[in-house]
Amino acid sequence: MRIRHLPVCCVTALLLAQPALAAPVCSGKTTPEIQSCFSSRLSQAELQLKRYTEAALRRMQGPGIAARTQADFRKGESAWRAFREAECKAVAGRWSDGTIRTSMELSCRLKLTEERTYELWQNWLTAPDRATPILPEPAVSPQN
């Protein structure tokens, strides 16, 4: 093994050694297996984000919520998507010399998507009096 690949191997080992609470760690034996796992988990997280976003938008149509709130929410969504795109491309760029780059980018997208879903739940789908939330609390993996 070349010395320059040692850091990539160490990071990969650390990523695969950590237990995830929300979903199993992608622990395939090959790079394509790991990438397929992350891709599948990201697709599921995207569907959940869409569901929570739609529920938040429906809630904004209720009484006492200004039309401006929905417009600001949509601006925030666009800004968040641009941030996720740029951040995860930068993460992939950091690993551009190795086969791990795609897994790192997908892991970044998954983490940020899960965190965004949780933010939507917390800010829009729960009540301060701890009444039953509109949708269940989403799981966020401590790492991917």
Predicted local distance difference test score (pLDDT) of residue 2: 53
The residue count of the chain comes to 144
Distance of CA 39 to the CA centre of its chain: 11
Q: Which pLDDT belongs to residue 85?
A: 98
**Domains of the chain, first to last:** 3-124 (1.20.1270.180)
Per-residue pLDDT tens for 103-132? 999 999 999 999 999 999 999 999 877 777
Whether residue 8 is predicted with pLDDT greater than 50 in this model: the reply is no
| DSSP letter assigned to residue 36 | H
Taking the model in full, what pTM does it have?
Answer: 0.78
Identify whether the C-beta of residue 72 lies closer than 8 Å to the C-beta of residue 141: no
Task: Kindly report, residue by residue over 45-57, the tens digit of the pLDDT.
Answer: 999 999 999 999 9
Q: Which range, 10-19, 23-32, 43-52, has the best average confidence (pLDDT)?
A: 43-52
Q: Do 26 and 41 meet the contact criterion of CB atoms below 8 Å apart? A: yes
Measured distance CA(33)–CA(124) in Å, rounded: 36
Q: Report the SS3 class of residue 136.
A: coil
